[in-house]
Structure 1
Amino acid sequence: MQAGMVIIGAGECGGRAALTLRDLGYEGPVTLVGDEPHLPYERPPLSKEAMTSEAPLIKAIASDELLAERSIRHIHSARAVAIDRAAHVVRLSDGSSLAYDKLLLATGSAPRKLPMPGLGGRCVYLRTFNDALAIRAHLSAGNRVAIIGGGFIGLELAASARKLGATVTVLEAQPRILMRGVPAEIAEIIHKAHETEGVKVLTGQGIAAIADNGVEVLVTLADGNEVVADLAVIGIGAVPVTALAAEAGLAIDNGIAVDGTLRTDDPDIFAAGDCCSFPLGVYGGRRVRLEAWRNAQEQGALAAKNML
């Protein structure tokens, strides 16, 4: 019996890979495994439409009906906990196992944690739809929100929070916002736009301490000033989810290391999206990792093609 294709990670990358396998004519079993209870969905709207629309909805990549029509098995609310490379088997958190001919790791990234004591239930991160719903509950007139990190996610959340009437302070340790994302001239325009909308933006401000007493969060800055908030959202970057691959003995180098075809050092295991690093020709073959919606989408499709 054919084991087929198994995809770990039911996000943008994994979802696109599963659909592309069928688009390319593959007729064997396709199994998509995700640790969330939802259908595969787009993450970019989580900091925007999911915060501000009257009824926040998941923007699904595929419906149950489409997955069924394409004969794609979707296992949700389960994590892959181990890969037995010799047996070509993946073990899941629910105790079940999946055999594979080819395996795609599309495990994505996770929010970088703030390495400080004093964080509690009012210090949160945004990665999932459920995270978005929890944050949204605090974004209303009269509520104070501190956003730690002046990158794309933090600034998108700041705009959404202001739209809903919350008081917003953005804290960025670097000399300016979007330090890694855009040139200084563009960052200055965006900085001014946020201030015009009522966002207080503090740059060059390291955090000395955080105290979450369950009622409010007190953020003490390096210069001694304090910011008091009802909610602190931490957006200081992301890290690739590599533990499953590392425990299976696959090479890790700022993500799961793959070649130009997205193949790992195991010929039957591929990786794509936020979780992998790959050699980029325009950088002289230097290994890079991209945390971007389009990269996840296109690498999911490319991985599917190369798995075939």
Structure 2
Amino acid sequence: MTYDYLIIGGGQVADDASRAIRDADADGSIGILSADQDAPYTRPALSKKLWTDPDFDEGQVPLNTVEDTGAELHLHTEVTSIDREARTVTTADGATYGYGKLLLATGSTPGELDGPDDDRVIPFRSFADYRRLRDLSRSEGEDARFVVIGGGYIGNEIAAALATNGVRTTLISPDDVLLGSKFPPALAERYQKLFADGGVELLGGHHAESVTYSGGAFAVLLDDGTEVEASVVVEGLGAAPALDLARDAGLSVSEGVIVDERLVTSDPAIWAAGDIAEYPDAILGRTRVEHVDNAQEMGAAAGASMAGSEDPYDHTPYFYSQVFGNRWEAVGTLDPSLETLEVDLDEDRTVVYYLQDGAPVGVLLWNVEEARDAARQVLKDAPTDHDELRSRIR
């Protein structure tokens, strides 16, 4: 089977790219090859809304890509190689698919610890992972202890979600104070208090080394030799961009697959978008971003570019997280070792500017709504006067 447009990866990028292609080309054939067992879905809901919004259920997670665009979706399909000369790709089961234009949207692979292959040890990433964890949270009993490893966005959100739903939860984080590697000290303490007040047991300043199983329970081994007993283990250890396919195909790869302003790789018939794409951002410079805003906007831009658009990808993405009813958003670099300027708008809302050589390189918005464009403009203008900065986002 040969497609006019072939997409490798079945996530958010595939959905937005398919929609943009169909908007520009009513007749071109679209194929999506996905290693997932589910059709494209909204990934942020897996650690947020599905746990916190009683009016949002699993039926609202799928993005309805096939129904809306007519794309042909092949699930449980792992692509193992690309033949650029023949313009074909080969899958793990030996099937071959041809393409006129190819989009790489292979996303990221979650980190995992050494340990048993067990349904109660979950490297959290997919819709299937959510369903498994949700079932366990309901079936393990009130004395069960769920141990979440990793103090980043996913680990923190899952720990908050479990605790909010009455699950006994322990969170192991490498930061002494949660998100102390991203937030200035006072805000990190404020953030951590949300978890302590929410009933999460916190074990900060530790790395988990491995998971073992004995006597009907799991044990998480920490870097100081301590073992933490668990009924269920959730690994929120971050994720690495899936670059091997592009690298093995001979495409230019650095921290990500290198693309130009139209998201074209070093091969003019191949595009890349989402987690794997290293692109020239108009404000941040050449970078790679792993958050949903980038996946949506870049997916749409890649699809339009594949269908003939000459417009550059000029969106600077933001990232966000939400726990215990508090939402934070950010644009740019969050590094508390930089000089920071904190502006309290009121007792609940704070703006933090991260400064390098006196100019802002990152903006953190704590419970500040509808200010992402203002944050982007601050980074673009790069004012160095503190009084001016204090007045920019109110």
Fold match by TM threshold 0.5: yes
Cα distance in 2 between the residues matched to 1:76 and 1:207: 33
Q: State the match for 1:16 in structure 2.
A: 16
Q: State the match for 2:198 in structure 1.
A: 197
Aligned AA (2:19):
L
Segment of structure 1 superposing worse, 179-188 or 159-168 = 179-188
Segment of structure 1 superposing worse, 4-13 or 118-127 = 118-127
Q: State the match for 1:36 in structure 2.
A: 36
Cα distance in 2 between the residues matched to 1:231 and 1:248: 39
Q: Is the 8 A contact 1:147 1:168 kept in 2?
A: yes
Cα distance in 2 between the residues matched to 1:167 and 1:291: 30
- 1:273 matched to 2:294: no
Q: State the match for 1:123 in structure 2.
A: 121
Give matches, 1:74-223, under 5 Å: 74-114=73-113, 117-121=114-118, 122-140=120-138, 141-179=142-180, 181-207=182-208, 209-213=210-214, 215-223=216-224
Cα distance in 2 between the residues matched to 1:33 and 1:276: 18
| 1:1-22 per-position Cα deviation (integer Å, ceiling 9, x unaligned) | 9841111111101111011111
Higher-Rg structure is: 2
| Structure 1 gap ranges (5+) | none
| 1:113-148 per-position Cα deviation (integer Å, ceiling 9, x unaligned) | 23xx44442432111111111222222422101111
Cα shift at 1:166: 1.7
Residues 187 and 213 of structure 1: CA distance in aligned 2, closer, same or farther (over 3 Å): same
Question: Share of identical aligned residues, percent?
Answer: 35
- Local SS of the residue matching 2:73: strand
| 1:199-226 per-position Cα deviation (integer Å, ceiling 9, x unaligned) | 0112112335532237212123334443
- Local SS of the residue matching 1:210: strand
Superposed CA RMSD in Å reads 2.3
Aligned AA (1:252):
V
| Structure 2 gap ranges (5+) | 309-394
Q: Is the 8 A contact 2:2 2:97 kept in 1?
A: no
Residues 208 and 35 of structure 1: CA distance in aligned 2, closer, same or farther (over 3 Å): closer
Q: State the match for 2:234 in structure 1.
A: 233
Cα distance in 2 between the residues matched to 1:167 and 1:244: 40
Aligned AA (2:174):
A
- Local SS of the residue matching 1:138: helix
TM (norm. structure 1) is 0.89
Residues 143 and 27 of structure 1: CA distance in aligned 2, closer, same or farther (over 3 Å): same
Q: State the match for 1:60 in structure 2.
A: 62
Q: Is the 8 A contact 1:120 1:213 kept in 2?
A: no
| Higher relative contact order structure (alpha carbons within 8 Å, sequence separation ≥ 6) | 1
| 1:229-253 per-position Cα deviation (integer Å, ceiling 9, x unaligned) | 1111111211001121111111221
